[in-house]
A and B are shown apart, each in its own frame.
Chain A
Amino acid sequence: MELSSFVQNLMNGLAIGSVYAIFALGYTLVFSILGIINFAHGAVFTLGAYFTYTLVVGQFENNGLLKGINLFPDGSPFSGSAVMFGLATILGACAAGAVAVLIERLAFRPMRSRGADPLLALVSSLGVALVIVNLIQLLVGAEIYNFPSDAYGEVRPALSFKIGEKIVIIRTVQLIIFAVSLVMLAVLGYVIGRTKVGKALRAVAESPSTASLLGISVDRFILITFFLSGFLGGLAGTLVGTAFGVAGPYFGVVYGLKGLAVIVLGGLGSIPGAVAGGLVIGLAEAFVPAEYSAYKDAVAFALLFVILLVRPQGLLGRNLIQKV
């Protein structure tokens, strides 16, 4: 492989891999606290992108019940400048986080308090995902919505540089995705590793009953976890939506599935694992040769299958101990 195409693939892989990582962190946070997989996470990802789009554009002109309603008749205040676009992204992610909190209150908590089979959480969270996805379809239709190219003001669409004779092009969006993901990972690492909230979260993850004996309000920290999870999911949704368009109510489904592969690859419930898993899968996909690109979507699952057989606890997971 030539150096230029190597660098190109590397950049593509890092950008998409870092999105996988922050998306999968949302799964992992909930799993580490509750031991369940929240299948609605893919739908929250989709919602994040739609929330941000709502703020930036203000209307969905193609289809659905909301057709013809314009939130900002005089032009959206969030459009046209990079700072305001960033603000819209954060607000969209917060709204997604709020939805995740709602999901926990309405679908997960009642089930825990009844002592239901944890497997049922899979079904109930899938039910929530169905509700969200079909509501989106009902409200704004199944069309693809692209962010207008002037939405983030005067930003160059791509950077290009030469390696030898070949030109390597890196889209600005990719650089932003990568940078935002790094910042998010650093912030999350700081919050969980160094702050009091993080300490409490780790305590709840280790043992909810002990944590509650020590005066930690377990339910409150579960809510915080869901908010963080939804925030990360919604942020990832906006980032992907900015790069490739908000591709209909189902566009989170693929990420929802790949996110599963990411967390298992890295080790269920492990934060560094989710990051490593995301980057490994992003890079592996980017380096699939062009003639096999149709099989790209199978790469993540092939890796998942192999890692489960070779090292079930994942790359960075804790050893699984079989208790009697």
Chain B
Amino acid sequence: MSDFLQSYGFLIVTLIQAGLLGLSLYFPLMAGQLSLASPGFYALGGYVAAIMLTNPAFAGLRDTLGNGIFPLTWLAAGLLCALAGVIVGVPALRLRGIYLALATIAFVEILRVVSLNLSITGGAIGIFGIPQAFGFQDRWQYLLIFGPLLALVLAFTYMLQKSRVGRAFRAIREDELAADAMGVPPTQYKVLAFVIGAVIAGIVGSMSAPFLNTWNAKQGTFDASIAILAFVLIGGSRSMWGPVVGGALLTAVPELLRFLQDWRLVINGLVLVIASLYLPQGIVGALAKLRKSPPPARPPIAPAPDAKGGTL
């Protein structure tokens, strides 16, 4: 068992991390909002933890609290990301669809460039020598904090979906105007969904900084945004299990493809294309369909959706 954890512990933690980031994007999507901001909040949370754990300004706090500093970094990262989520979310959520997605990409990019240039974030080099959480000796021990976080977030998601708030999210996703007319204030709920996602991503970041030992501007990039979107869409965007399954699988695929050596990343790209073509409902959606009897065939949808912005 310990051999297994020795060899695969790191990978398993990475899979859980991916699942959690997928869930952080799933929340805004639950309310029908396509936000790609998760890597930004993930990076922000990581920086909060990295700074609190290495910066001389916090030396006194670290000495007094001992290992208690780690839960405090999670709390600080969560709170700061909630604040940032409100600041970014309130104006950005007036936008919809692709516009919101692009605004959140802008947020991630601005954050990246700023963190590349500030001295407190270590500039281009980043922050080094972040101490291991709770003096963990081995990477697999991070399962002890990431595992419970995943369980907690899943339980929270499950309960939220059954609650009034979850129903409000769904109502907004199906039809924002109708939801508004029925007395569900869309803006508040959209910001709430966005902030929940931000907090989850931030906490994951704050746990990941000690896990990775170092933190730099490469942690929150545009590529990560799309990778996380792929977790959710390929896993299945209509069920809370989708992001978890998608995150774990898509993170495992490059590892499983290691035997392909140099061709690995090429094939990884192909996997994304093929999965989008053949699993349009996501893996969880496809499994759910298998269990139910197939619905009557729908006529093919016209080549282009009506909701687009342009004239030539």
Residue numbers of A with Cβ under 8 A of B are: 28-29, 31-35, 37, 39, 106-107, 110-124, 126-132, 134-135, 137-138, 192, 198, 201-202, 205-206, 208-209, 218-219, 222, 253, 257, 260-261, 264, 267-271, 294-295, 297-298, 301-302, 304-305, 308-309, 312-313, 317-318, 320, 322-324
Contact = CB atoms under 8 A, between A and B. Distances in A.
B223 to A, nearest CB: 8
A294 B273 contact: no
B309 A318 contact: yes
Contact of A135 (B94, B95, B103, B266): B266
Contacts of A39: 226
14 contacts: A35-B305, A37-B98, A107-B273, A114-B277, A119-B34, A120-B280, A123-B229, A123-B272, A132-B269, A192-B312, A257-B105, A267-B309, A305-B110, A317-B310
B113 A269 contact: no
Interface string B243-268: 00000000000000000001101101
Given A32-B308, A202-B311, A318-B311, 5 more contacts: A117-B237, A134-B266, A134-B268, A268-B99, A298-B114
Given A33-B304, A111-B280, A261-B106, A123 B230 contact: yes
A269 B271 CA distance: 30
Contacts, number: 194
A257 B269 contact: no
B300 interface: yes
Contacts of A322: 177
Interface string B92-126: 10110011011101110110011011000000000
Contacts of A222: 303
Nearest to B309: A268
Interface residues of B, number: 55
Contacts of B110: 298, 301-302, 305
A261 B268 CA distance: 27
B304 A126 contact: no
A123 B226 contact: yes
A215 to B, nearest CB: 16
Contacts of A124: 272-273, 276-277
Closest 10 A/B residue pairs (Cβ)? A269-B310, A127-B272, A130-B269, A35-B308, A32-B310, A115-B301, A116-B280, A131-B269, A124-B276, A298-B113
